[in-house]
């Protein structure tokens, strides 16, 4: 995260802007590599994870940057009435994405490309542009999440969020999204994230080590993907 702007006297808005712009640019670069250079998405995103983490380690000299002002910390720890600000940001983002995917032409195009990119191309959709835009949007929200996490922890460092990618994929798959594209919903993803959160809290409450928690999450992901493949095979029959 480039939320370090919050320690340099620029204020929370500059920190937020830096985080989402850099996130969107990172997503755009990966989308370009996938659509124009024809590199497999898994390779690009895995390589991007390593490259961007290395860049942040270089910029921060491998250490955390902390001491954000109160206005920025409010986005991570503040309340609006009884509701935490991060929960409000999450709900707003989920509602916005749900509306876009469910009720707009762009959302239908995203589903079409995810389901069958070649068929979408033959029907006249600009598949490459849609794919790049999706990666830009994902990068934007990754930057927003980094900003909120930094504000909550009052610290920003390259190693923050390690392992989140597995948790996120598990939540998405449990929520009914197919890893093979074309199927899924924001509502299902929210439910999946809630279930993963409840599971992790339950394991922590019972003093289960973080290592064992990783094993459990990994097994859940494998089972969820296997179930998804089984359902697809049943539908084809």
DSSP assignments along 93-106, one per residue: HHHHHHHHHHHSHH
pLDDT for the residue 60: 81
Tell which of 94, 126, 160 closes a domain: 160
Predicted confidence (pLDDT) at residue 75 exceeds the cutoff of 80: yes
Which range is least confidently modeled, 19-28, 141-150, 154-163, 169-178? 154-163
- Same-domain check for residues 37 and 58: yes
Q: What is the pLDDT of residues 90-118, one digit of tens each?
A: 999 999 999 999 999 999 999 999 989 99
Q: What is the pLDDT of residues 129-147, one digit of tens each?
A: 999 999 999 999 999 999 9
- Max mean pLDDT range (2-6, 90-94, 114-118, 210-214): 90-94
Q: 3 falls in which pLDDT band (50, 70, 90)?
A: very low
- Same-domain check for residues 156 and 175: no
Q: Residue 4 domain-assigned?
A: no
Q: What is the pLDDT of residues 9-56, one digit of tens each?
A: 567 888 899 999 999 999 999 999 999 999 999 999 999 999 998 888
Tell which of 108, 139, 160 closes a domain: 160
Over range 154-169, report the average pLDDT: 83
* Paired tokens of 130: 């849609």
Percent of the chain with pLDDT over 70: 94
pLDDT for the residue 1: 47
How many domains, in total, are found in the chain?
Answer: 2
With residue 79 as reference, give the H or E element that holds it.
Answer: strand 79-80
Measured in whole angstroms, how far is the alpha carbon of residue 37 from the centre of its chain? 23
- Same-domain check for residues 177 and 232: yes
- Same-domain check for residues 144 and 172: no
Q: What angle do CA 87, 91, 95 make, to 5 degrees?
A: 175
DSSP secondary-structure letter at 132? H
- Same-domain check for residues 67 and 79: yes
Neighbours of 163 (CB within 10 A): 11
pLDDT for the residue 169: 87
**Domain with 26 in it:** 11-160
- Same-domain check for residues 167 and 113: no
Percent of the chain with pLDDT over 90: 50
Q: Compute the mean pLDDT over every residue in the chain, rounded to the nearest whole number.
A: 88
Indicate the pTM of the whole model: 0.87
Q: 237 falls in which pLDDT band (50, 70, 90)?
A: low
Tell which of 140, 160, 180 closes a domain: 160
Q: Residue 2 domain-assigned?
A: no
Distance, in Å, from the CA atom of 22 to the CA atom of 143, rounded to the nearest integer, reads 7
Over range 183-211, report the average pLDDT: 89
pLDDT for the residue 173: 87
């Amino acid at each position: 995260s480039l939320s370090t702007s919050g320690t340099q006297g620029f204020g929370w808005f500059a920190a937020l802007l830096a985080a989402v712009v850099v996130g969107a640019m990172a997503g755009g670069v990966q989308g370009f590599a996938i659509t124009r250079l024809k590199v497999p998405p898994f390779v690009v995103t895995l390589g991007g994870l390593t490259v961007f983490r290395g860049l942040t380690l270089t910029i921060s000299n491998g250490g955390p940057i902390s001491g954000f002002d109160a206005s920025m910390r409010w986005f991570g720890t503040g309340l609006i009435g009884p509701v935490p600000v991060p929960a409000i940001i999450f709900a707003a983002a989920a509602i916005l994405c749900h509306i876009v995917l469910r009720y707009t032409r762009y959302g239908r195009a995203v589903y079409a490309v995810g389901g069958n990119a070649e068929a979408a191309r033959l029907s006249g959709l600009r598949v490459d542009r849609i794919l790049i835009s999706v990666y830009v949007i994902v990068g934007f929200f990754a930057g927003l999440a980094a900003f909120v996490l930094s504000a909550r922890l009052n610290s920003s460092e390259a190693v923050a969020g390690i392992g989140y990618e597995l948790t996120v994929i598990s939540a998405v798959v449990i929520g009914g999204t197919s890893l093979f594209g074309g199927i899924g919903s924001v509502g299902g993803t929210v439910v999946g994230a809630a279930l993963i959160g409840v599971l992790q809290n339950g394991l922590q409450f019972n003093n289960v080590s973080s290592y064992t928690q990783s094993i459990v999450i990994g097994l859940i992901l494998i089972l969820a993907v296997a179930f998804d493949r089984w359902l697809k095979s049943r539908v084809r029959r």
